[in-house]
Amino acid sequence: MHDAQDKVREEQQDVNKAMEDARVEMEKYRDEERQKITENQEKIQKFRDKMTTANEKEKAKYRDKIAELENKNNDMRRKIDEYKYENETSWQKFKREFNHDMDEMGHSIDDMFKDNVK
């Protein structure tokens, strides 16, 4: 009987350790992604500031794009802040999709800067 109780205790400790490791990984990932989101916002603001000296045609061209990027960046912040860990499979799926969306956003911001240089 003692052996069975010890085995259950050990298994519970393994589960607790795995859950703690997952929580630590998730918080580290969140911190990293929040930093990227902040950097995106800074880039968008820099572009917005640059547009104050542009002519009306350029301002009109980029106004909607800037608003779209700000909304997307805010959505990404909300997603990372509101995500609740369910299990390892959903966590990996969330990270894969979130990384894809962040990459697309980064490319959109970079493309906006490149388009403006022309």
Q: What is the pLDDT of residues 74-96, one digit of tens each?
A: 999 999 999 998 888 999 999 99
Q: What is the mean pLDDT of residues 44-50?
A: 88
Instruction: Give pLDDT, residue 118.
Output: 47
DSSP secondary structure string, 51-117? HTTS-HHHHHHHHHHHHHHHHHHHHHHHHHHH-----HHHHHHHHHHHHHHHHHHHHHHHHHHHHHH
Q: Does residue 12 carry a pLDDT above 90?
A: no
Q: pLDDT for 106-118, tens place per residue? A: 999 888 877 665 4
